[in-house]
Structure 1
Amino acid sequence: MEKYVLSKTIAIVLGALTIIAALGYGFLFLLGTSLGQALHSEIDTSATNKLTLLILISLLIVGVITGAGSFGLNWNVWRIVYCGFCLVLGICLLVTFFISIGAIGSTYEFMILCISMMYFWMGYLVKKKK
């Protein structure tokens, strides 16, 4: 069996899940913003919109790097960078899960937790060359 087959498979699935989570988060953001404007909210959201769009774009880029980056695992330097990338994202998503408990709904919170655990698992698999 070829090296990194399991890692590449998980990376493609995980990249797709990250992109889906970003699009779901974007949908919730647009829904909340639209409802706020429809109800004539007095809060200025121009600074919040820029930060939220930056987060959405960052999540989409992370999803693409996760999926496409797995095809360069045969190079030693990229493998080390990719393993660190996976572990850092796993930690960040785990912290995000704990921060968002009760805020965005149990479905999205559970999805963030699952994606975090999958990033940890993928970092482990890349380290073990599976």
Structure 2
Amino acid sequence: MEKYTVSKTIGLVAGIIFILSALGFGGLYMLGTSLGKALGSQTGPSVDVPFMFVVLMYILLIGFITGLGSLGLKRKAWRSGYFVFCWSMGLLLLIVFFNSIGALGKAIEFLILCVSGVYFLLGYFVKKEE
């Protein structure tokens, strides 16, 4: 078996899932705001539209780094940076999970915990397969 096969597979799958979720989030957001404007249920001009696009671009960037970053694991500098990225994303998502207990619902909180676990697992495999 080739070196870093498991890391590349997990990284590409997680990256594709992040990119698809960002595109789905953006599509649903655009659909919701346009329907709100068309039906007249929006109370005033929306100030958070640019902020939502920043969040969407951030999620897309994380997806691209996760997916494409797993392809460059043969270089030592990239591998160590990717390891730090994976563990920091896992830690940040774990902090988000603990901060959101009781606020988002059990399913979404469990999803955040699972994504955090995937990032920790990805970082583990990157370090293990060295």
Bin of the TM-score, shorter chain as denominator length: 0.7 to 0.9
CA contact (8 A) 2:100 2:109 kept: no
Q: How far did 1:109 drift?
A: 4.2
| Counterparts of 1:25 and 1:82, CA distance in 2 | 26
Mark the CA change 1:34 to 1:101 in structure 2 (over 3 Å): closer, same or farther: farther
Show the counterpart of 1:84. 84
1:45-83 C-alpha deviation (Å, 9 max, x unpaired): 23x111111111111111111111111111111111000
Show the counterpart of 1:30. 30
CA contact (8 A) 1:86 1:123 kept: yes
Show the counterpart of 1:119. 119
Aligned length in residues = 128
Show the counterpart of 2:62. 62
**RMSD of aligned alpha carbons:** 2.4
Unmatched runs of 5 consecutive residues or more in structure 2: none
- Indicate the percent of aligned positions where both proteins have the same amino acid: 43
Show the counterpart of 1:40. 41
Runs of 4+ aligned residues of structure 1 deviating over 4 Å after TM superposition are 105-109
**Which structure would you say has the larger RCO, counting Cα contacts within 8 Å and 6 or more residues apart?**
1
Show the counterpart of 1:99. 100
CA contact (8 A) 2:12 2:67 kept: yes
2:41 aligns to what SS in structure 1?
A: coil
1:86-110 C-alpha deviation (Å, 9 max, x unpaired): 111112223334437544x655544
2:21 aligns to what SS in structure 1?
A: helix
Unmatched runs of 5 consecutive residues or more in structure 1: none
Mark the CA change 1:102 to 1:35 in structure 2 (over 3 Å): closer, same or farther: farther
Show the counterpart of 2:50. 50
Show the counterpart of 1:13. 13
CA contact (8 A) 2:94 2:116 kept: yes
